[in-house]
């Protein structure tokens, strides 16, 4: 399934050999940055594994150094009396750090003091990414050492420096530990910064060794397919960065389904896509083609339904399992199942007194229950005049085709009234019906707009371009725009009212959401791309 795409070095991310690291260590008057101060800063900067500068200074904490801190570090009050305070030392340190990745042993402690001082002095929190040698050692060496203290690690990696609770010496020892840990990480395929940053949270279970299956994946948009030992595709996903996304399954994903997928995983196929739009559409098509057992939310609808306004003397909404040309006054859908279709039907019934009974007119001696309650006009007892019923049908058609407010405003008013009366559960039901009907109307409009527009060429200044044919993605590109395909001179014929296939509806929805993004420009179209003048109004927030 993987396409023969020539990979470039940028696909791999930032190699560790090119990453600037700044190893840092602090000595402080206590354990909390809230009430304690910094007494010493030591830092070493490296690029490509070679020294790129050092930074060392005592700092006047402008408070008394506790006796136990002096015993631990050897730093006395007399040693810092003439040292610069943090407001003078910090600007120089920030300039020294630059854009380097900050490294420390239990680096969160050091960064907590630096961030507290930086925020207090108006610099804001440090934007630098960080690597904790303690967390890396816990990931890589837990089973080999009795503890992971800096002194233990320095001795394990034969550092010539013995940590002694002085900032610069401890930073030197931490640097030696870092090089040893990077060498160890390289043996399991960690050669780039993005992978190193995620390594501490990697799952340590029996399936972690399968992370090697992601080694050949590029850092490009696309779709990935998980296969089991029999070669069957059991999961399809999309990603803006294929390598990072697949490796993320091994980094602290505690979902039960993820663990089950890793247990079944035997191979990973992929397809590089030019844009995120292409990846999203490719995911949809592959899910429909393979019906993977772990794609629960994105599976094709098992029993798609439509709502049909029947073409009879007293039209009503009826559930339909398929579309037949010329049958019905109008349709809504497709819906993923009967429950979703019924929710929209209930929304229409809440908005209009549309007929609900299905028996022949005049067969019953008394009106049906809906008619007796006054919520529907029904011909079941033979007393309803067709002329009195026709405005209801016309209002429904007008609400679907032209002015959605005819259907949605009564629902919004009902939600407000019920909420004001304290009937919050009922208000929630009507609110859900309003959302379902609004969504169905939006998707119907978008489908018809794409169908009328025919062949569309559009592009986004940052997200590439796409060629779309009646709502279906034909091709996409990233970067410079390729030569356009010739557009037909004739306008498209009468567009289909609603999609006859749920897959076409899903894809058209994805395409329409992309076209509606800010910045997307329409370059050419064989027809007219437009929506009705009156928009579909979403329900304003109501506190229930």
Residues identified as active-site = 165
Give one word for 254, left, alpha or beta, with left for phi > 0 and alpha for psi -120 to 50.
Answer: alpha
What CA–CA distance (Å, rounded) separates 245 from 264?
18
- What is the C-alpha separation between 110 and 126, in angstroms, rounded? 12
Query: Do the Cβ atoms of 165 and 73 come closer than 8 Å?
Result: yes
* Helix, strand, coil abundance in the chain, percent, nearest 5: 40, 20, 40
- CA separation for the pair 283, 258 (Å, rounded): 18
Strand partners, 81: none
Would you call 349 helix, strand, or coil by DSSP? helix
- DSSP codes, 233-261: EEEEEEESSHHHHHHHTTSS---HHHHHH
Q: Which token pair is 525?
A: 């179209």
* CB 449 within 8 Å of CB 531: yes
The 3-state DSSP class for residue 362 equals coil
Q: How far apart are CA 123 and CA 134, in angstroms?
A: 28
d(CA 273, CA 1): 13
How many residues would you count in the chain? 544
Q: C-alpha 101: how far from its chain's center?
A: 26
Strands (DSSP E) found in 48-175: 50-58, 101-104, 130-132
Residue 210: φ, ψ to 5°: -75, -5
Asked if 434 contacts 440 with a C-beta cutoff of 8 angstroms, the reply is no
SS3 394: helix
Please give the Cα distance from 337 to 456 (Å, whole number).
Answer: 31
Quick one: CA torsion of 217, 222, 226, 227, rounded to 10 degrees? -90
Burial class of 242 by CB neighbour count within 10 A (0 to 12, 13 to 18, 19+): buried
Q: Tally Cβ neighbours within 10 Å of residue 497.
A: 19
Dist. CA 150–CA 360, nearest whole Å: 86
**Which tokens is 429 given?**
């039901």
Sign of CA dihedral 388, 394, 399, 400: positive
Give me the sheet containing 464-469, strands edge to edge: 472-477, 464-469, 455-460, 521-525
Residue spans of beta strands (DSSP E) within 290-380: 305-309, 317-320, 330-335
Q: How far apart are CA 479 and CA 84, in angstroms?
A: 52
């Amino acid at each position: 399934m993987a396409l023969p795409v020539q990979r470039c070095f940028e696909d791999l991310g930032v190699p560790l050999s090119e990453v600037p690291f700044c190893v840092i260590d602090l000595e402080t008057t206590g354990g909390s940055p809230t009430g304690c101060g910094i007494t010493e800063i030591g830092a070493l900067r490296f690029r490509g594994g070679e020294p790129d500068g050092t930074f060392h200074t005592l700092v006047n904490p402008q408070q008394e150094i506790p006796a136990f801190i002096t015993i631990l570090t050897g730093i006395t009050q007399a040693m810092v009396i003439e040292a610069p305070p943090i407001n003078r030392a910090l600007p120089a340190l920030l300039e020294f750090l630059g854009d380097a990745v900050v490294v420390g042993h239990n680096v969160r402690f050091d960064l907590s003091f630096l961030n507290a001082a930086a925020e207090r002095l108006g610099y804001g929190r440090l934007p630098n990414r960080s690597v904790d040698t303690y967390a890396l050692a816990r990931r890589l060496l837990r089973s080999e050492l009795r503890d992971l203290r800096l002194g233990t690690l320095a001795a394990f990696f034969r550092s010539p420096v013995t940590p002694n609770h002085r900032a610069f010496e401890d930073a030197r020892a931490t640097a030696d530990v870092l090089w040893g840990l990077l060498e160890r990480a390289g043996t399991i395929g960690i050669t780039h910064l993005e992978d190193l940053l995620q390594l501490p949270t990697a799952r340590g279970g029996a399936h972690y060794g399968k992370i090697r299956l992601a080694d050949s994946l590029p850092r490009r948009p696309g779709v990935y397919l998980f296969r089991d030992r029999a070669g069957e595709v059991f999961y399809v996903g999309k990603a803006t960065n294929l390598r990072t996304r697949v490796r993320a399954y091994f980094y602290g994903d505690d979902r039960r389904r993820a663990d089950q997928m890793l247990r079944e995983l035997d191979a990973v196929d992929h397809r590089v896509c030019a844009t995120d739009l292409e990846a999203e559409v490719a995911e949809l098509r592959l899910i429909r083609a393979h019906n993977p057992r772990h794609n629960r939310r994105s599976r094709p609808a098992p029993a798609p339904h439509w709502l049909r306004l029947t073409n009879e003397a007293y039209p009503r909404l009826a559930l339909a399992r398929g579309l037949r040309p010329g049958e019905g006054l109008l349709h809504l859908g497709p819906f993923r199942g009967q429950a979703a279709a019924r929710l929209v039907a209930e929304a229409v019934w809440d908005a209009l007194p549309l007929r609900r009974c299905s028996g022949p007119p005049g067969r019953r001696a008394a009106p049906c229950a809906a008619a007796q309650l006054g919520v529907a006009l029904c011909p079941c007892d033979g007393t309803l005049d067709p002329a009195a019923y026709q405005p209801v049908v016309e209002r429904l058609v007008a609400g679907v085709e032209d002015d959605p407010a005819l259907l949605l405003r009564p629902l919004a008013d009902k939600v407000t009234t019920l909420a004001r009366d304290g009937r919050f559960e009922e208000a929630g039901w009507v609110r859900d019906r309003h959302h379902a009907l609004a969504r169905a109307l939006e998707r119907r409009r978008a489908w018809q707009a794409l169908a009328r527009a025919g062949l569309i060429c559009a592009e986004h200044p940052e997200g590439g371009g796409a060629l779309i044919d009646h709502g279906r993605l034909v091709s996409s590109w990233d970067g410079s725009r390729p030569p356009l395909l010739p557009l037909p001179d004739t306008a498209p014929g009468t567009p289909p009212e609603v999609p006859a296939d749920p897959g076409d509806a899903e894809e058209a929805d994805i395409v329409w959401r992309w076209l509606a993004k800010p910045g997307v420009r329409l370059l050419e179209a064989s027809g007219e791309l437009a929506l009705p003048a009156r928009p579909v109004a979403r329900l304003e927030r109501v506190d229930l």
